[in-house]
Amino acid sequence: MRGVSEERFSIITYMHERKSEGAVVDLTSSTELEKRRGSDHGSVRSGFGAEQGGRTLGSVGEDEDGEGSPRAVGGERPERQMQGDALFNQWVQDIRSELVSMKGRTEIEKQLYNETLNRAILGYEEDRGKLLAIIHDLVSKRRLSDVPPRTSGYTTLPEAIFAEIIGLNVLELVLKHKEGLEEIQVVGRQIFEVRGGMAMPSAYSLPSVRELERIQQNLVLFNNDTLNPRKRWAEVVLRDGSRVTMTGFGFTAEPTLTIRFYTIKRFDLTSLAAAELATMDKKMEKLILILIRSYFNMVVIGPTNSGKTNLIKAIIAEMDDNERIITIESRFELNLKRDFPHKNIVEYEIDEEDPRHSGLQAFKLALRQSPKRICHAEIRDDDANLYVRACTRGHEGSITSVHVSELEDVPDAITDMCMLDGRGMNPLRLTKRITEFVTQIGMEMAVVDGKRKIVRIVEYRYENEEVCVTDLAAYDKSTDEWTFPGKLSHHASRKIVKYDKEGFALLRELGFIVKEGES
């Protein structure tokens, strides 16, 4: 396989930028030339030519309207050009089919190859270089003419084919500024960029809906999946944790594409307490560390992209490496074994549509594997009872997340999930058990001024037949600092003394422990 120089590859990957500038020049200074060519360039949006020189990562030699339907360009196109474009289409299909068939001999080789294809489409430079080299070789073996269609805007056939099979159109320009990029969200032609947990409209938009569908088809093709009228959604998960979710017409009003990148590199409480991230302060770091060592069961809430997964990983990072930890997820997002290879971790990926690999089955097996702690990425209706049972039968120090708006709602929300079991349980007794054994400590995440922060840490108690919540830490947006209004209960203090006497003394110094004589 031939190597590709960094300079050459950069030119291919970000050809859009140069073409966009060229489109602007053509529109402002080449009016007479356009008339002679009989072409219709359309409009330029945010520095990107609407048609990008014809076929650029789109349909060969066609201008498109907002819905992706072809329009005639200056009347009938020359027959020779149409034949050349048809031939180019055939070459693209042949090369794409061969790329799909080049799987490898073993399952591991097949997985690695598919991973390379996916990463190439998603803009990873090293993998794109590999794919361009493969396409060069395939073109050479076929002895194809090394001249692309006149409308493609590329100087060589391999580059034009690469752009058609791998290219992401204007998303290339978004990916060029990947620093801090957490998600790309595409709805029809609209593009949104998520940075710091906040979604903002991109400066770019796709030239047509059909271009989004082309990108979708490339992604599903390289994963032996489908996106068609019978199955109108698909997902791709990369080994580094990045995830692609796609939907098609009929399932959503417009096709969608969401690319969620794996961005965080470090996972410990010290990193989250540093000024760069400011997810918590040093006093909160000490509190959480002692709660972990004292085996409190914890629950995390917060909206999407608020940092729940990163907080859970930071908490797990502080757990004893020798303790058996079992994680249960619907999609591998935590990737703990990759980030903490020395920890005693068993990771389950469940499929609720398959009874043999459901969350219920995973819990049954997990409880037979002697776990010290259980990390359930998100508690759900079907397995809520099993998680409650695990927490009440000796699996202390476990952690999960729940989708609720307020920390006060957590015990009741889990109770409601358990009641769906239909076994006629007493809801008051169940809420009491959940409050005392499952949701001992609650944490709420939120995005504040572009930074993910723990905005509340609370202790749950059950008194006088109702759930009581004590705020141990609360974020004050007006001062950009945390306050510490409450103290730990006597029950919590006894638990800390049992597991971490030094930690108890530190918390007493920090003011979290009720002193003798205080109520």
The full set of domains in the chain, from first to last, is 6-260 (3.30.450.90), 276-510 (3.40.50.300)
Low-confidence winner among 3-12, 207-216, 334-343 (lowest mean pLDDT): 3-12
CA–CA gap between residue 199 and residue 181 (Å, rounded) = 10
Tokens 């993998």 map to which residue? 127
Predicted pLDDT of residue 334: 79
505 vs 42 pLDDT, higher one: 505
Q: CA angle at residue 462 from 461 to 464, to 5 degrees?
A: 135
Mean pLDDT of 312-327: 93
Under 8 Å between Cβ of 200 and 180: no
Predicted pLDDT of residue 77: 54
Mean pLDDT of 96-108: 77
- pLDDT category at 60 given cuts 50, 70, 90 is very low
Mean pLDDT (the chain, rounded): 80
Q: How many CB atoms lie within 10 A of CB 209?
A: 20
* CA nearest neighbour of 407 among 268, 298, 288: 298
Residue 78 carries which DSSP code?
P
Per-residue pLDDT tens digits for 395-446: 899 999 999 999 999 999 999 999 887 777 888 999 999 999 999 999 999 9
Predicted pLDDT of residue 39: 38
Regarding pTM above 0.75, the answer is no
Tokens linked to 273: 């307490």
321 vs 383 pLDDT, higher one: 321
CA–CA gap between residue 380 and residue 400 (Å, rounded) = 10
204 vs 100 pLDDT, higher one: 204
Predicted pLDDT of residue 122: 73
In terms of Cβ atoms closer than 10 Å to its own Cβ (0-12, 13-18, 19+), residue 262 is middle
- pLDDT category at 147 given cuts 50, 70, 90 is low
Predicted pLDDT of residue 15: 43
CA–CA gap between residue 272 and residue 445 (Å, rounded) = 12
pLDDT of 55 above 50: no
Predicted pLDDT of residue 302: 94
In total, the chain counts a number of residues equal to 519
Predicted pLDDT of residue 144: 76
Mean pLDDT of 350-377: 87
CA–CA gap between residue 416 and residue 404 (Å, rounded) = 12
Mean pLDDT of 335-363: 87
Under 8 Å between Cβ of 490 and 274: no
pLDDT of 29 above 50: no
Q: Which spans in 232-357 are helix H?
A: 269-273, 282-293, 308-317, 336-339
- pLDDT category at 148 given cuts 50, 70, 90 is low
Residue 77 carries which DSSP code?
P
In the chain, pLDDT over 70 holds for what percent of residues? 79
Residue 409 carries which DSSP code?
G
